[in-house]
Amino acid sequence: MDVTERFLKYAGFDTKSDENAGITPSAPGQMELARYLKTELETLGLEEITLDDNGYLFATLPANTDKQAPVIGFIAHLDTSPDMSGKHVNPRIVRNYDGKDIVLSAKGNIVLSPVQFPELLGHVGEDLIVTDGTTLLGADDKAGIAEIISAVAYLQQHPEIEHGKIRIGFNPDEEIGLGAHRFDVEKFGCEWAYTVDGGEVGELEYENFNAASAKVTFKGRNVHPGYAKNKMINSMLLAKRFMSLLPARETPEHTEGYEGFYHLTGVTGDVEKTTVSYIIRDHDREKFEARKQEIERLVNQMNVELGGEWILVEIKDQYYNMREKIEPVMHVIDVAFAAMEAVGVKPNVKPIRGGTDGAQLSFKGLPCPNIFAGGLNFHGRYEFVPVQSMEKAVQVIVKICSLTSSLSKGEGKSR
């Protein structure tokens, strides 16, 4: 199988994660895909293959050189986003894309258009894998899985390409922030690794948001509305006022690059009780801490005005910017940069406006920047991935393996 065949096969597994499941993996389809991949890796002849009860699949491509090269790894996640259905994914390939609208579903009048998605025009003449308009595609991150396995298979078929010991890892539940929680870094046994989970060709990322969640609960007092004067406290109106106090333009739809935000993700309530949920994001650690403090300050301010503890807030840190863990070992980035250039890809070093398993893994002792997988418009029906982008990702992975064969063990240690 080539990388396209692999991706189309993996897309058929429903691996949508579930943040309310309370188990790992959070949905049975992830384990089904892991078992299938385990069998495929066994057929390819990889070694040290393990699949644990939580859905973490590890395997080894042994070194084919006597050089004492560092052990490196490549990681991708099994799950797809809970934002949209991943069941009965029906992908098709649009050959030699002509730059015009792509009708995903004539019945549903669902069109993938360069008017709304101008990035399409960067892939004219390429072969695009698209959805049928009713599900997401799953290139995030089944494209990454297909690329890693295809690269390993290519190295097996070309023993003239020297490489050290290569570890691969596939984990569950990245999309709900739990992918790295039970990832056994010591068992994985690498000096450094790369997640293959980025977007457009050339993306190379070692900076991500610092992230926290905030749940703000507003208590109210319900009284018959005909007799409510000076008695009723409407928790929904308290919530409305609180939301109005946060900066109106510091939201995802108004920010880019290194700009952080407060993102309202949910509101539930009635007169007696209302809960609002936010995620807080910023690349700068000081600004991140200041954002959390601002939410607490506003809660305290409103409680003082109300004359009691009518508002409660719970803030939880989720992950931190991996930059501080990567900067001491920047040759990890240099290798990926050189590999991209060697295969004709222009590196695009940029901050991730989101998170990645690599961030948490970096703080667990495994430096782990992120490289492109080639997909675009993740998490929805307009997702697509060019075949040529996946092929380039395979080439980059192969080249990274080749370049690291000339390094010495210990190159990945902080210094």
82-94 core/surface letters (b: 16 or more CB in 10 A; e: else): bebebeebebeeb
Contact (CB, 8 A) for 208 and 258:
no
Start-to-end C-alpha separation, the chain: 41
CA angle 87, 91, 97 (to 5 degrees): 150
SS3 labels along 360-408: HHHHCCCCCCEEECCCECCCCCCCEEEHHHHHHHHHHHHHHHHHHCCCC
Q: How far apart are CA 405 and CA 189, in angstroms?
A: 17
Q: How far apart are CA 367 and CA 389, in angstroms?
A: 25
**Residue type, position 198, single letter:** G
Q: How far apart are CA 276 and CA 261, in angstroms?
A: 16
Catalytic residue (one of 79, 140, 197, 205)? 79
Is 48 annotated as catalytic? no
How many Cβ atoms are within 10 Å of 158's Cβ, its own excluded?
12
Close Cβ partners of 39 (under 8 Å, ≥ 6 residues apart): none
In sign, the C-alpha dihedral spanning 107, 113, 119, 120 is: positive
Number of residues assigned to the chain: 415
Q: Is 333 left (phi over 0), alpha (psi -120 to 50) or beta?
A: alpha
Q: Name the nearest CA neighbour of 172 among 58, 48, 73.
A: 58
Catalytic residue (one of 14, 141, 147, 174)? 174
CA-only gyration radius of the chain, Å = 23
Is 79 annotated as catalytic? yes
Q: Name the nearest CA neighbour of 310 among 273, 340, 343, 282.
A: 273
Residues labelled as active-site residues: 79, 174
